[in-house]
Structure 1
Amino acid sequence: MHPEIEDLLKKLNSKEDEVRYPAFLRMQALTEHKVDWVYEVWEALVAKLSDPNSYQRNIGATLLCALSQSDTENRLASMLDRLLSCSKDEKFITSRLTLQNLWKPAWFEPQLRDTIVSHLQKRFEECETEKHSNLLRLDILQSLFTLAELSHDEALQQKALDLIQTEKDEKYRKSYLALKKK
């Protein structure tokens, strides 16, 4: 394993924010592009999805989504349910970060797209009764609109618009529609 990646992986496990967070930011920056070390860190990141510490679940979900562009062996397909479960985590921030990043595997691994889009639609509907559902819905819609824009998919954009119309609160509907204009 490349020494920097090995060091970052160790730092991601730190309980100290001032050690863990810069390592996370560096890993995020590195994973903006395809990397050849994806499988050297894969299992460690998958294990984070079920870690008792929500920070570790955040790290695992966010980085696995980013690494989907490097997943030439399509390993994400076999553990997609574990990743998707983080979108309904006991910790609100873990749910949000996962929802904000799910467009990445849907874009980079087209065979997972329909499953992820269906999951996002379902989460939009079921989160209505959850605390801060408007923020969860913003994240879901942003992922859908991002994916629709990248893939030039007007049908997906329309699905997102249809979801917005199911929102009962006009104030939230307006904020959701503003996402489309970004």
Structure 2
Amino acid sequence: MDPFIQSHFENLEAKNKEVQYEAFNHILEAIKNKVDWSYDVWDQLVNWLTDPDNHRRSRAAQFLAGLAISDPEQRMLNDFLALWEVTKDPKFVTARHALQSIWKVGLAGQKQKTMVIDHFTDRFKNGTNEKNYTLIRYDMIQGLKNLYDAVKDEQIKQKAMELIELEEDSKYRKKYLSVWK
């Protein structure tokens, strides 16, 4: 693995929070584009998805979502459900970080895009019993918008509009629609 990236992964475990944060941001920046080291860290990140440390779970989810574009073996098709579980983490901030980044999986290809949209759709329709569900719905609508902006697929916008129409509370429907303005 690239020594620069390796040092950032090591710095995620540093005692100093600023060093951790800087390392985290460097990794996020690096994975905005395809990288050749995704499989050097993939299995470790998959393991972190269920780590007792919520910071590790959050980072793993965000990094794996970003690394989906650097996954020529399409491992994400097998690992997605473990990643999706973090969007339901008992620590809401961890769940939210995962949910806000999982749309990036859809950038990896048609199967991945369909998988993300299907999971968003199912949860939007069936997640009304979840605590903070209006916030969760907002994050999913924002995720669809981010995916749409990246790939310009009109079906994504159509799906988002269908989901927004399901919202019975006009206040929240208006809030979700504001994402698409």
Instruction: Quote how far apart the aligned CAs of 1:70 are.
Output: 1.0
Corresponding residue for 1:47?
47
Q: Secondary structure at the match of 2:64?
A: helix
Equivalent pair of 1:13/1:56 in contact (CA under 8 Å): no
Cα offsets for 1:127-162 (capped at 9, x unmatched): 322222221111101111222343332232122111
| Residues 32-59 of structure 1, C-alpha deviations (whole Å, 9 max, x = no match) | 1111111111112111101111111110
Cα separation, 2, equivalents of 1:16 and 1:121: 40
For the residue of structure 2 that corresponds to 1:90, the secondary structure is coil
Distance 2:112 2:29 in 1: 24
Aligned to 2:94: 94
What does 1:22-171 align with in structure 2 at a 5 Å threshold?
Answer: 22-171=22-171
**SS where residue 156 of structure 2 aligns?**
helix
Question: What is the distance in 2 between the residues matched to 1:44 and 1:155?
Answer: 35
Tell me how large the CA RMSD over aligned residues is: 1.6
- Give 5+ residue unaligned stretches, structure 1: none
Contact 1:62 1:97 (C-alpha < 8 Å) held by counterparts: yes
SS at match of 1:69: helix
Secondary structure in structure 2 of the residue aligned to 1:32: coil
How far, CA to CA, are the matches of 2:100 and 2:34 in structure 1? 20
CA distance in 2, matches of 1:115, 1:30: 24
SS at match of 1:123: helix
Question: 1:176 is aligned with what amino acid?
Answer: Y
Which residue identity does 2:25 align to in structure 1?
L
2:20 matched residue in structure 1: 20
Q: Distance in 2 between matches of 1:155 and 1:54?
A: 34
1:168: Cα distance to partner?
A: 2.1
Q: 1:10 to 1:133 in 2, by over 3 A?
A: same
**Partner of 1:131: helix, strand, or coil?**
coil
Give the distance between the partners of 1:48 and 1:126, measured in 2 at CA: 27
Tell me the CA shift for residue 60 of structure 1: 0.3
- Name the amino acid aligned to 1:114: T
Aligned residues between the structures: 181
Q: In 2, Cα distance between the equivalents of 1:80 and 1:15?
A: 31
- TM-score, with length taken from structure 1: 0.91
Which of 62-71 and 85-94 deviates more? 85-94
**Structure-2 separation of matches of 1:76 and 1:36:** 16
Aligned to 1:173: 173
Percent identical pairs in the alignment equals 38
